[in-house]
Amino acid sequence: MSFVTPTKPNEVNSGVKLVVLLLLLTVNQAFAQSQSLRIKVTSGNNLEFNFNSYAKLKNGIQYDDFTTIKVSYSDVDENGDYTSTGWRLSVNALSDDLIPDFGTRHLSLDIIEMKFVHDFDVKQFPLSRAESIVDDVHQNPTNDYTYKVSYSCGINGEMMNVISDNFSTDIMFTVTVP
């Protein structure tokens, strides 16, 4: 990856790039033969916020419905009855900050806002090292659930004074069964 350093005093700092890599983790209890759990990113698994213009630095960058996550869970006995209490989808960053490639100034994770949409249920929160619960599914947990994830960064002008660099973090989605 490369970055551009301004050469004129009034030139825009145009080389701030954030790279987000999405990872998946499934944590299961020992399942009987009638149980299965899958999580899959069907689109949008590598995200870059490239702040290469004054407008992007000032207004931020937003990617609507960039990532699609599908969770498939089946837990029925031989009679077709549900045997589980459900599952939980959560997300967290794998680092404490957005890490620079070249400099020493780290950026706070909370400049990245995430929005999850499933049907008409919307959850929005800033990216964090701590686990954020996206969904706790207890009603009809054997259906397939699809989540559209939108991301925004720097929408309040937080990127205006950031020194040119490439910043990155990894994001992990986790499905757990109680």
Q: Look at residue 53 in the predicted model and tell me its pLDDT.
A: 82
pLDDT in the model for residue 17: 56
Q: pLDDT of 81-131, one tens digit each?
A: 766 677 889 999 988 988 888 877 888 899 999 999 998 899 999 999 999
CB 112 within 8 A of CB 18: yes
| Mean of the per-residue pLDDT values of the chain | 77
In this prediction, residue 92 carries a pLDDT of 92
Identify the helix (H) or strand (E) that includes residue 115: strand 112-118
**pLDDT mean over 149-165:** 86
The 10s digit of each residue's pLDDT in 37-70 is: 788 888 887 788 888 788 888 898 899 999 999 9
Burial annotation 37-60 (CB, 10 A radius, 16+ → b, else e): bebebeebbebebbbbeeebbeeb
Structure confidence at residue 132 as a pLDDT band (50, 70, 90): very high
Predicted TM-score of the model (pTM): 0.79
Which phi and psi (to 5°) does residue 119 adopt?
55, -115
- Position 41 scores a pLDDT of 84
Check whether 158 has a pLDDT greater than 50: yes
* Confidence tier at 157 by pLDDT (50, 70, 90): confident
Q: 152, 176, 175, 168: which is closest to 21 by C-alpha?
A: 168
Residue at 70: amino acid letter: K
- The residue type found at 52 is N
- Sorted by where each starts, the structural domains of the chain and their CATH numbers stand as 16-176 (2.60.40)
CB of 89 closer than 8 Å to CB of 67: no
pLDDT in tens, 138-155: 766 667 899 999 999 988
